Amino acid sequence: MKFTLELENDYLFSSTTGTVNTLEEMQQYATAILNKTYKYGIKRILLDQTGLKNNTSSLDASLLANSVEIDMAAVQGIRVATIVTPNEYSIAVTYENALFNRSLNCKTFMEKEQAMQWLTS
Protein backbone atom coordinates (compact mmCIF):
# COMPACT_ATOMS: atom_id res chain seq x y z
CA MET A 1 0.00 0.00 0.00
CA LYS A 2 1.21 3.48 -0.89
CA PHE A 3 -0.35 6.78 0.05
CA THR A 4 0.20 10.49 -0.27
CA LEU A 5 -0.71 13.17 2.26
CA GLU A 6 -1.39 16.72 1.09
CA LEU A 7 -2.77 19.75 2.88
CA GLU A 8 -5.67 21.15 0.83
CA ASN A 9 -7.27 24.36 2.11
CA ASP A 10 -8.77 23.29 5.46
CA TYR A 11 -8.50 19.50 5.16
CA LEU A 12 -5.91 16.77 4.73
CA PHE A 13 -6.16 14.80 1.48
CA SER A 14 -4.79 11.27 1.16
CA SER A 15 -4.73 9.21 -2.02
CA THR A 16 -4.11 5.51 -1.43
CA THR A 17 -3.20 2.77 -3.91
CA GLY A 18 -2.21 -0.87 -3.72
CA THR A 19 -3.34 -3.53 -1.27
CA VAL A 20 -3.67 -3.63 2.50
CA ASN A 21 -3.55 -7.12 3.98
CA THR A 22 -2.99 -6.74 7.71
CA LEU A 23 -4.19 -4.82 10.73
CA GLU A 24 -0.63 -3.60 11.26
CA GLU A 25 -0.59 -1.97 7.81
CA MET A 26 -3.93 -0.31 8.51
CA GLN A 27 -2.68 0.95 11.90
CA GLN A 28 0.44 2.46 10.32
CA TYR A 29 -1.72 4.15 7.69
CA ALA A 30 -4.13 5.58 10.28
CA THR A 31 -1.29 6.75 12.53
CA ALA A 32 0.51 8.55 9.69
CA ILE A 33 -2.68 10.36 8.67
CA LEU A 34 -3.63 11.34 12.21
CA ASN A 35 -0.12 12.54 13.04
CA LYS A 36 -0.26 14.86 10.02
CA THR A 37 -3.61 16.29 11.10
CA TYR A 38 -2.25 17.00 14.57
CA LYS A 39 0.86 18.60 13.10
CA TYR A 40 -1.21 21.04 11.03
CA GLY A 41 -4.01 21.48 13.55
CA ILE A 42 -6.75 20.46 11.12
CA LYS A 43 -9.84 18.40 11.85
CA ARG A 44 -11.01 17.21 8.41
CA ILE A 45 -9.62 14.33 6.36
CA LEU A 46 -10.55 13.21 2.85
CA LEU A 47 -9.35 9.69 2.02
CA ASP A 48 -9.41 8.69 -1.64
CA GLN A 49 -9.17 4.90 -1.48
CA THR A 50 -10.45 4.23 -4.99
CA GLY A 51 -7.08 2.69 -5.84
CA LEU A 52 -6.96 0.51 -2.71
CA LYS A 53 -7.81 -3.17 -2.33
CA ASN A 54 -8.62 -3.86 1.33
CA ASN A 55 -8.08 -7.51 2.29
CA THR A 56 -8.50 -6.96 6.03
CA SER A 57 -11.41 -8.33 8.06
CA SER A 58 -14.24 -7.04 10.22
CA LEU A 59 -12.19 -8.15 13.24
CA ASP A 60 -9.35 -5.90 12.02
CA ALA A 61 -11.84 -3.03 11.73
CA SER A 62 -12.97 -3.59 15.30
CA LEU A 63 -9.42 -3.81 16.62
CA LEU A 64 -8.40 -0.62 14.81
CA ALA A 65 -11.48 1.17 16.14
CA ASN A 66 -10.49 0.22 19.69
CA SER A 67 -6.97 1.63 19.38
CA VAL A 68 -5.63 4.59 21.32
CA GLU A 69 -5.07 6.51 18.06
CA ILE A 70 -8.77 6.33 17.19
CA ASP A 71 -9.81 7.31 20.71
CA MET A 72 -7.57 10.38 20.48
CA ALA A 73 -8.95 11.30 17.04
CA ALA A 74 -12.52 11.07 18.33
CA VAL A 75 -11.68 13.29 21.31
CA GLN A 76 -10.01 15.81 18.99
CA GLY A 77 -13.18 16.04 16.83
CA ILE A 78 -11.61 14.65 13.67
CA ARG A 79 -14.04 14.21 10.73
CA VAL A 80 -13.17 11.66 8.00
CA ALA A 81 -14.77 11.18 4.57
CA THR A 82 -13.64 8.10 2.63
CA ILE A 83 -14.14 7.54 -1.10
CA VAL A 84 -14.12 3.93 -2.32
CA THR A 85 -15.12 1.85 -5.33
CA PRO A 86 -18.29 -0.25 -5.31
CA ASN A 87 -16.20 -3.43 -4.87
CA GLU A 88 -14.67 -2.06 -1.64
CA TYR A 89 -17.83 -0.45 -0.26
CA SER A 90 -18.79 -3.31 2.06
CA ILE A 91 -15.47 -3.49 3.94
CA ALA A 92 -15.26 0.31 4.02
CA VAL A 93 -18.69 0.53 5.67
CA THR A 94 -17.58 -2.13 8.16
CA TYR A 95 -14.71 0.16 9.14
CA GLU A 96 -17.05 3.16 9.17
CA ASN A 97 -19.43 1.44 11.57
CA ALA A 98 -16.65 0.25 13.89
CA LEU A 99 -15.06 3.71 13.97
CA PHE A 100 -18.38 5.52 14.39
CA ASN A 101 -19.21 3.24 17.32
CA ARG A 102 -16.01 4.54 18.95
CA SER A 103 -17.25 8.13 18.38
CA LEU A 104 -15.14 8.97 15.32
CA ASN A 105 -17.16 11.11 12.94
CA CYS A 106 -16.67 9.27 9.63
CA LYS A 107 -18.62 8.38 6.50
CA THR A 108 -18.03 6.34 3.33
CA PHE A 109 -18.88 7.53 -0.20
CA MET A 110 -18.47 6.36 -3.77
CA GLU A 111 -18.37 9.88 -5.25
CA LYS A 112 -15.95 12.67 -4.38
CA GLU A 113 -18.57 15.41 -4.69
CA GLN A 114 -20.77 13.83 -2.02
CA ALA A 115 -17.77 13.24 0.22
CA MET A 116 -16.67 16.86 -0.07
CA GLN A 117 -20.17 18.13 0.60
CA TRP A 118 -20.43 16.06 3.79
CA LEU A 119 -16.87 16.86 4.90
CA THR A 120 -17.33 20.61 4.58
CA SER A 121 -20.87 20.79 5.99
Q: Which residues of 51-78 are buried (b: 16+ CB within 10 A; e: fewer)?
A: bbebebeeebbbebbebeebeebbeeeb
User: Which DSSP state fits 86?
Assistant: G
Query: What's residue 50's pLDDT?
Result: 98
* Domain spans of the chain, in order of start: 2-119
Task: Write the pLDDT tens digit of every residue in 59-110.
Answer: 999 999 999 889 999 999 999 999 999 999 999 999 999 999 999 999 999 9
Task: Write the pLDDT tens digit of every residue in 11-39.
Answer: 999 999 999 999 999 999 999 999 999 99
Question: Smallest Cα–Cα separation from 111: which of 55, 56, 58, 46?
Answer: 46
Cβ atoms 106, 47 nearer than 8 A: no
Pick one of 3.20.20.450, 3.30.2350.10, 2.40.30.10, 3.30.750.24 as the CATH number of 2-119: 3.30.750.24
For residue 9, what pLDDT band results from cuts at 50, 70 and 90?
confident
